[in-house]
Amino acid sequence: MDKILLIGFGKLGSHLYYSLKSTGKYNVTAAKKRSTKKSILAGLIRSADVIFICVQDSKISKAAESIIKSGAALKNKTIFHTSGALTSDAVAELKQQGAYIGSFHPVQSFAKRTTSLTNSFKDIYIAAEGDKPAVKKAYSIAKSIGSVPLTIKKENKVYHHICCVMASNFLSALNGRIEETGRKKIQINGFNNLTFLNIYMPLARQTLGNIALHGAAGSLTGPIERNDLTTVKHHLEALKKSSKELLSFYILMGIETVKLALNKKSITKTQSANLYKLFSNYIIKQ
């Protein structure tokens, strides 16, 4: 029975914790608080076979550093982060310590932290990338919690995350506009035999469910809502090189998302101004 440690117990981490625990296949522990004593964390790391770093993108590097500083032997351990935007390179220093590294990204939206088992991992896709042993382990874990694993190339990870942002974050922003105009009925047209879209459908459905429960602002997640300028710029640079048409759409919806995040008060006016400035730097001059 694999011993799994989750570092971070927020929205994603809590859902993953209860999903893993419900299988009965793993001994699952979570470092739930930042105040977890170093000696306790070191012991948890030492005994774990698999470690999931379930923290915000900006804190992944610090979490990896904490793992190294614990002094625990990392050889042959499998360590994932759950970021959609970053590749396994974000924890490359752990590989130098002998660990197998990878990214394990659930193509799903988690609006609230949970205290019990949900079906949030059932039938969703898990984008796996990294060392071969890590990807193999990701497939095994994903299947055990009812998810569908897929392998993504490192160079395509940013485009995958752009699709996630469009399917979820922009959908929240779009529905915010719909709410403003007072429309009460939303018709969604179905698509047949489009496997590519099917990957993002569970994410979009969950986001719509979140909107129904919490409203557009309450369901908003993602890099803009977190004021993650680094990730947004990464998206903009990728689209600038590959698709001017998609770049224009991303900027348009990104601006709407900033407005919604400001309405939610998850970002400040100063932060929104910085985001607007970033988008303006990529507007295509006619």
The answer, yes or no, to whether residue 96 has pLDDT greater than 70, is: yes
**144 and 195 assigned to the same domain:** no
**95 and 192 assigned to the same domain:** no
**Over the stretch 206-223, which tens digit does the pLDDT of each residue have?**
998 999 899 999 999 999
**114 and 188 assigned to the same domain:** no
pTM exceeding 0.85: no
pLDDT interval class at 242 (50, 70, 90) = confident
Cα–Cα distance between 138 and 32 in angstroms, integer? 22
Among the candidates 152, 181, 210, a domain finishes at 152
pLDDT for the residue numbered 178: 66
Residue 286 resides in a domain: no
pLDDT for the residue numbered 236: 95
Residue 240 resides in a domain: yes
Residue 212 resides in a domain: yes
Among the candidates 131, 152, 173, a domain finishes at 152
CATH of the domain at 145: 3.40.50.720
**118 and 188 assigned to the same domain:** no
Three-state secondary-structure class, residue 236: helix
**9 and 134 assigned to the same domain:** yes
Which residues fall within 8 angstroms of residue 257, CB to CB, at 6 or more apart?
169, 170, 172, 173, 220, 222, 224, 225
**86 and 133 assigned to the same domain:** yes
- Residue 9 structure tokens: 């117990």
State mean pLDDT over 1-21: 95
Residue 180 resides in a domain: yes
**73 and 92 assigned to the same domain:** yes
pLDDT interval class at 3 (50, 70, 90) = very high
Please name the residue ranges forming H helices in 28-169: 38-47, 57-69, 92-95, 132-144, 157-164
The answer, yes or no, to whether residue 195 has pLDDT greater than 90, is: no
pLDDT for the residue numbered 154: 94
**Over the stretch 31-62, which tens digit does the pLDDT of each residue have?**
876 656 777 888 999 999 999 999 999 999 99
**161 and 146 assigned to the same domain:** no
Residue 223 resides in a domain: yes
Q: How many domains does the chain contain in total? A: 2
Say if residues 54 and 24 touch (Cβ distance below 8 Å). Answer: no
Residue 131 resides in a domain: yes
pLDDT interval class at 192 (50, 70, 90) = very low
Q: What is the extent of the structural domain holding 246? A: 155-280
pLDDT for the residue numbered 36: 62
**47 and 166 assigned to the same domain:** no
Which backbone phi and psi does 148 adopt, to 5 degrees?
-110, 110
Indicate the burial class of 116 (C-beta count within 10 angstroms; 0-12, 13-18, 19 or more).
exposed
- The residues pairing with 2 across neighbouring beta strands, listed in sequence order, are 26
- The residues pairing with 150 across neighbouring beta strands, listed in sequence order, are 127
The answer, yes or no, to whether residue 121 has pLDDT greater than 90, is: yes
Mean pLDDT of the chain: 90
**127 and 163 assigned to the same domain:** no
Cα–Cα distance between 227 and 257 in angstroms, integer? 11
**166 and 244 assigned to the same domain:** yes
pLDDT interval class at 285 (50, 70, 90) = low
**261 and 244 assigned to the same domain:** yes
